[in-house]
Amino acid sequence: MSDLSIFDVNPAAGAKSESPLAMTRVTVATVASPAKAGVVVREHAFQGHLILRGRATDDQFRAGVEQALGVPLPLKMGPLSRDEARGVSIQWMSPDEWLVIVPAGREFATENRLREVLSGHYAVMNVSGGQTVLELSGPAVRDVLMKSTPYDVHPRNFPVGKAVSSVFAKSSAIIRRVAEDRWELVIRRSFADYLYRWVLDASEEFGVYVAS
């Protein structure tokens, strides 16, 4: 445990949290039910996002992360470490950087847990307020992604469980395939309004349903 002073950025009472999409109006024509939709869009707001930095070659670091989070540290680009039931995932972002996503409200406890088990040269940053997650599901999601990113989303290059960071609609996004027909976009707060409306607009022709 380091002697760094850290604090919970989400005080339990009295503070109102607002998703970056709180002010965004849906202006495209939507379909009446998810069953009729080619794409179902759903925001997973307020999850805990932590950026973890450290040395992948450090055995203690790797073991500590696995001990704290219960999923192994991915050591290369692509395969997402994910426990769907607990809502915990670790994504390789660069050789010394990972994105950890935990359920809403768990970020401070997770950060503390990581600081308990890790030592030496590492860093944990809470970036929950800086980004949000859009879940896209349905049979036409791949068509929408093909309109939006130069990254090859064909199944031969993008199997279930893969996660990449790429250009998305002239901005950028993290693209994660979490199931056969279910994808996640991790988008930055400052671009969230634009990217959300891009996704809705790109999905309109396939029939889009906005789930809450």
DSSP codes, 121-138: S-EEEE-GGGEEEEEEES
Nearest to 159 by CA among 176, 144, 143, 173: 176
Look at residue 13 and give its three-state secondary structure: coil
Minimal distance, residue 119 CB to other proteins, in Å: 25
- Closer to other proteins by CB, 151 or 194: give it: 151
- Closer to other proteins by CB, 112 or 171: give it: 171
- Closer to other proteins by CB, 108 or 158: give it: 158
- Tracing tokens 């990449």 back to the chain, one arrives at 164
**φ, ψ at 72 (rounded to 5°):** -70, 150
Minimal distance, residue 173 CB to other proteins, in Å: 9
Minimal distance, residue 169 CB to other proteins, in Å: 12
Question: What tokens were used for 208?
Answer: 């889009």
Question: What tokens were used for 15?
Answer: 């503070």
- Closer to other proteins by CB, 137 or 148: give it: 148
DSSP codes, 86-103: TTEEEEEEETTEEEEEE-
Longest dimension (CA), the chain: 54
- Tracing tokens 């406890």 back to the chain, one arrives at 109
- Tracing tokens 């039931």 back to the chain, one arrives at 85
Minimal distance, residue 155 CB to other proteins, in Å: 16
- Closer to other proteins by CB, 109 or 167: give it: 167
Which residues are at the interface with other proteins (CB under 8 A)?
76-78, 93-95, 97, 150-151, 164-167, 172
Minimal distance, residue 165 CB to other proteins, in Å: 5
Q: Which amino acid is at 150?
A: P
Contact 211, 34 (CB under 8 A): yes
- Closer to other proteins by CB, 94 or 212: give it: 94
Minimal distance, residue 168 CB to other proteins, in Å: 8
